[in-house]
Amino acid sequence: MAVFTVGRAISAKILLIPAPLYSHCLEVCLIGQELLSRGHQVVAYIISDFDTSDCPESMGIRVIQYKYVLGVEKLREFQDRYARMVLGNHTEAIDSFQLLNDAQNNTCWPILADEEAFSQLQKEKFDFAIADGFYTFACYLLIPYKLKIPYAVVSSLILDYPSVRPFLPNIKPHPFTHFTDQMSFMERVVNTIVTLTPYYMGIYLTPMDIVSRFAPEVSRRQVMDLVSQSELFLENTDSVLGYPFPLMPNVIQVGGISAGPPKQLPKTLTTFFEKSSEVIVVSFGSAFELPKEIIDKFMATFKLLDISVVWKTVDEGHVGKVLKTRWMPQNDVLGHSKTKAVIYHCGNNGLYEALYHAVPIICIPLLIDHKFNAHRIQSWEVGKVLDVQNFTPAELVADVKEVLTNQTYRKNMERVSQMYRDRPDTPRQRGAFWIEHLCKVKAYVPGIEVMYLVIYMRRRFKQRSDDSATYGKKQ
């Protein structure tokens, strides 16, 4: 292990393995950026078709890229089908199961098939890895497995079974549902099924043809079992906007990794904000493009509003009071004093960024955990929720005006934001501390697991001896 000691300091070489989605890249690489600031060497391993300019290169993280062997047209086809699914058209994908199967192929094949890129990783001699922990990316853990290095995972969804934490679907609602912790009997039954489903889908959707080529000794089930071998689970959640549930010591909540004090905006956005009195932010992530019918609804809505709008979308330019841009630093835009509300899909990172900056939300959930987040937004009364398939421009205009004029939403958001920010450390610092702790333990105490086992067995033997002696005296 590459360890350089000055007093009690340690420097490790850490590999980051983010999924090729911007929000997922932030989850992994912002922890890496914090580790980089602490003197560690950090390298990100990411697909060649991913735009790395903002994440992770702008963070100062070196990048090693692997090729997208299936071709860009396959990725575009997958994104188009995903977009159609948002509107309820499942026939293209034979429901969501086939779509998830394609997702597994589109993620596992590239990262395992580029032998030249993996050979470069082997030459780097990494000490530790941090990988995306979402269940569809379990095959990513084959990389640190083959490199023979310990690893941690980061995700907004850590599965209960692989992380070996208490399995309590009767009180802990799954993010793929819209339930609260006060469930009826039938809701608990449904919640149990939904909680177990991702684990088994991760097993049976894994493309074993590429896995067998890359790691022939690993079976289908063992791919998901690699999740259990993680040294640490960094979960991008927080109890402030969640429901209480028990955690094991190997699970650390780091909800709001991407949230923080705003930085200076790019020149175009700075000029736009200077000319505006109030601004609404609109963003629906980077996973796919919104269908044209949804975009047309938004444009019709914005024409009815007497307020400036900055909208992250595929087009660029000004349309009335609307500034369209292909990219924007969402956290920094939400942190601007003139931002009064955000319209978005209720993704996890955006939720915590809005929470951090106390910006009320108009939520239009699409898929996965979006509806779960939407339900929490409603229960905390920090925003409004609309259905993506059925909302009208008039309804969206009414909700925007309600959020802007009714001070209840802003006051509730400010109260929850204060609760969230009143911590001794940030989520990034918290995650980096525990990664650093693991590197120190691995560096200074080789075979510590064996040592702990010996200590445990000695204590158990002593306890049994004491119990026997006590029992003998009673007799």
What pLDDT digit, counting tens, does each position of 167-208 carry?
888 888 888 887 878 889 999 999 899 888 888 877 877 888
Burial bucket for residue 463 (CB in 10 Å: 0-12, 13-18, 19+): exposed
Q: What are the structure tokens assigned to 406, written together?
A: 């009714």
CA 163, CA 180: separation in Å to the nearest integer? 22
434-448 mean pLDDT: 67
Going by pLDDT thresholds of 50, 70 and 90, the confidence category of residue 90 is very low
What count of other Cβ atoms lies within 10 Å of the Cβ of residue 467? 10
- pLDDT tens-digit map of 295-335: 888 888 888 888 899 988 878 888 888 898 888 899 999 99
CA-based torsion, 78, 158, 285, 72: positive or negative: negative
CA 423, CA 251: separation in Å to the nearest integer? 18
| Omega prior to 166 cis, within 30 of 0 | no
Taken as a whole, the chain contains a residue count of 475
Beta bridge partners of 13: 41
Query: Do 127 and 438 meet the contact criterion of CB atoms below 8 Å apart?
Result: no
Output 388 or 154, whichever has higher pLDDT: 154
Half-sphere exposure (Cβ direction) of 302: Cα atoms closer than 13 Å: 22
Q: What are the structure tokens assigned to 353, written together?
A: 């960024």
CA 435, CA 58: separation in Å to the nearest integer? 22
Going by pLDDT thresholds of 50, 70 and 90, the confidence category of residue 37 is very high
CA-based torsion, 300, 301, 304, 308: positive or negative: negative
The model's pTM: 0.81
Query: Do 59 and 29 meet the contact criterion of CB atoms below 8 Å apart?
Result: yes
Going by pLDDT thresholds of 50, 70 and 90, the confidence category of residue 1 is very low
Query: Do 157 and 175 meet the contact criterion of CB atoms below 8 Å apart?
Result: yes
- Annotate 81-108 with b (16+ C-beta within 10 A) or e (fewer): bbbbbbeeeeeebeeeeebbbbbbbbbb
pLDDT of 26 higher than 60? yes
What count of other Cβ atoms lies within 10 Å of the Cβ of residue 59? 19
The predicted structure's pLDDT at residue 5: 40
Beta bridge partners of 42: 14
